């Protein structure tokens, strides 16, 4: 799908986030935040490890600790991503056959970002067997998903 398409896709994700209830978690400069995220997703989706090159070790869980991410915020974030993925094959040449795996990745990986209980009770249920952040040592730079 190419680097430009990934940057456009994540740009649209941040457009959704801007209109969502999780907007207050994000910094004022959403465009810059979008570019940092896009760099990560380029590497994840089989492109060059831009995030690692530009910003260092991803350590995604550790980086997200600065923000109070509740199970509800995670669901909202995923809903934003879902809306973007609905037309991803046409808009960003996202390979259709990789969509189910990518959605699965987002669902699983986002569990590691939840760091604050909101009393809905699903923090433990869903993340019960949480494993260490796989990006902590930078393995995600190569990325488990190709496309």
> Which residues fall within 8 angstroms of residue 116, CB to CB, at 6 or more apart?
68, 69, 70
- Looking at residues 49 to 88 of the shown chain, list those that interact with ligand HEM (rule: CB under 6 A): 55, 60, 63-64, 67, 69, 73-74, 77
The token duo for 74 is 């995670």
- Looking at residues 1 to 30 of the shown chain, list those that interact with ligand HEM (rule: CB under 6 A): 22, 25-27
CB 113, min distance to ligand HEM, A: 4
Burial label, 47 (beta-carbon count in 10 A; 0-12, 13-18, 19+): middle
DSSP string across 30-53: HHHHHHHHHHHHHHHTTS--HHHH
> Which residues fall within 8 angstroms of residue 109, CB to CB, at 6 or more apart?
60, 134
CB 87, min distance to ligand HEM, A: 20
* C-alpha pair distances (Å), 70 with each of 36, 89, 123, 129: 22, 30, 8, 17
Closer to ligand HEM at the Cβ: 59 or 93? 59
With contacts defined by CB under 6 A, how many residues of the chain interact with ligand HEM? Answer: 21
Per CB under 6 A, the list member of 11, 109, 134, 138 interacting with ligand HEM is 109
Report whether 50 contacts 43 (CB < 8 A).
yes
Residue nearest to ligand HEM according to CB distances in the complex: 40
CB 29, min distance to ligand HEM, A: 8
Identify which range of 84-92, 95-103, 107-115, 119-127 contacts ligand HEM by CB under 6 A.
107-115
Would you tell me which residues interact with ligand HEM (CB under 6 A)?
A: 22, 25-27, 33, 36-37, 40, 55, 60, 63-64, 67, 69, 73-74, 77, 106, 109-110, 113
């Amino acid at each position: 799908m190419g680097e430009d398409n990934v940057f456009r896709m994540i740009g649209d994700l941040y457009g959704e986030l801007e209109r969502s209830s999780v907007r207050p978690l994000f910094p004022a400069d959403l465009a810059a935040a979008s570019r940092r995220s896009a760099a990560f997703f380029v590497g994840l989706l089989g492109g060059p490890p831009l995030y690692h090159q530009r910003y260092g070790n991803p350590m995604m869980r550790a980086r997200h600790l600065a923000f109070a991410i509740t199970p509800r915020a995670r669901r909202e974030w995923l809903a934003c991503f879902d809306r973007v993925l609905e037309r991803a094959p046409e808009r960003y040449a996202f390979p259709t056959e990789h969509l189910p795996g990518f959605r699965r990745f987002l669902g699983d990986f986002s569990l590691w970002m939840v760091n604050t209980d909101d009393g809905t009770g699903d923090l433990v249920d869903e993340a019960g067997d949480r494993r260490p952040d796989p990006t902590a040592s930078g393995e995600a730079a190569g990325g488990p998903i190709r496309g």
